């Protein structure tokens, strides 16, 4: 399953409409939401009119930081960014990280809300013994 996923060629980019960030003010977790999320779409494709539009809203969970009219490229640093043996694994949000964990442990299925992002997992994340290290790193992060 994993090897076939990494060989699929996709024409379009795809990403989550809810992104968890490190707050630029206090360093805690902030949520960035694309309006498409409010209409029930967990993920967005690059054909969406909102893809490059300044429509994101950011709100910190811990401080008063709040920003609107941000483009995706202005969002800042992802909250879920893990390091292992010189490599970095990232996830758009907690649910996406949980999906990656399921992927590494062979438990993902098509009903997972973020299963459509599995094809974007980087090849280097999937190499041999590295998978087990990611599984441990993800489990640690999810407990924080
Ligand atoms: Zn903050």
Q: Which domain holds residue 93?
A: 2-9+80-143
Residues 121 and 102 in one domain: yes
SS3 122: coil
Residues 94 and 70 in one domain: no
CB 54 within 8 A of CB 75: no
Claim to verify: residue 67 and residue 98 sit in the same structural domain? no
Compute the distance from residue 116 Cα to the ligand 1 centre, in Å: 30
Digit-by-digit pLDDT tens for the chain (144 residues) are: 343 444 344 567 889 999 999 999 999 999 999 999 999 999 988 889 999 999 999 999 999 999 999 999 999 999 999 988 888 899 999 999 999 999 889 888 888 888 878 766 777 777 767 888 899 999 999 998
SS3 sequence, 10-71? CCCCEEECEEEEECCCCCCEEEEECHHHHCCCCEEECCCCCCCCCCEEEEECCCCCEEEEEC
Give 24 Cα–ligand 1 centroid separation in angstroms: 7
Q: How many angstroms separate the alpha carbon of residue 62 from the centre of ligand 1?
A: 5
Do residue 54 and residue 92 come from a single domain?
no
Residues 97, 47 share a domain: no
Cα(129) to centroid(ligand 1), Å: 36
**pTM for this predicted structure:** 0.86
Whether residue 53 is found in the same domain as residue 87: no
Alpha-carbon gap, residue 144 to 20, rounded angstroms: 14
What distance in angstroms lies between residue 127's CA and the mean position of ligand 1's atoms?
Answer: 36
**Cα-to-centroid distance, 11 and ligand 1 (Å):** 36
What pLDDT shows up at residue 20? 98
Examine the domain organization and report whether 60 and 92 are in the same domain: no
Note whether 65 and 87 are same-domain residues.
Answer: no
Domain count along the chain = 2
CA of 6 to the centre of ligand 1 (A): 36
The answer on 70 and 20 residing in a single domain is yes
* Residue where one domain finishes, among candidates 23, 42, 74: 74
Domain boundary among 57, 74, 91: 74
Q: Same structural domain for residues 19 and 49?
A: yes
Residues 84 and 67 in one domain: no
> What is the chain's Cα-based Rg?
15
Q: How far apart are CA 3 and CA 14, in angstroms?
A: 20
Distance 126 CA to ligand 1 centre (A): 33
């Amino acid at each position: 399953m994993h090897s076939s996923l990494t060989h699929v060629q996709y024409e379009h980019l795809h990403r989550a409409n809810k992104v968890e960030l490190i707050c630029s003010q206090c360093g805690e977790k902030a949520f960035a939401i694309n309006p498409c999320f409010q209409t029930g779409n967990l993920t967005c494709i690059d054909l969406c009119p909102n893809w490059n539009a300044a429509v994101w809203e950011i709100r910190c969970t811990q401080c008063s930081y709040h920003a609107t009219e941000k483009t995706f490229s202005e969002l800042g640093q992802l909250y879920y960014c893990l390091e292992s043996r010189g490599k970095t694994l990232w996830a758009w949000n907690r649910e996406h990280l949980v999906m990656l964990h399921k992927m590494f442990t062979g438990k993902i299925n098509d009903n997972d809300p973020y299963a459509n992002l599995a094809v974007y997992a980087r090849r280097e994340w999937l190499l041999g013994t590295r998978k087990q290290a990611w599984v441990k790193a993800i489990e640690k992060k999810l407990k924080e």
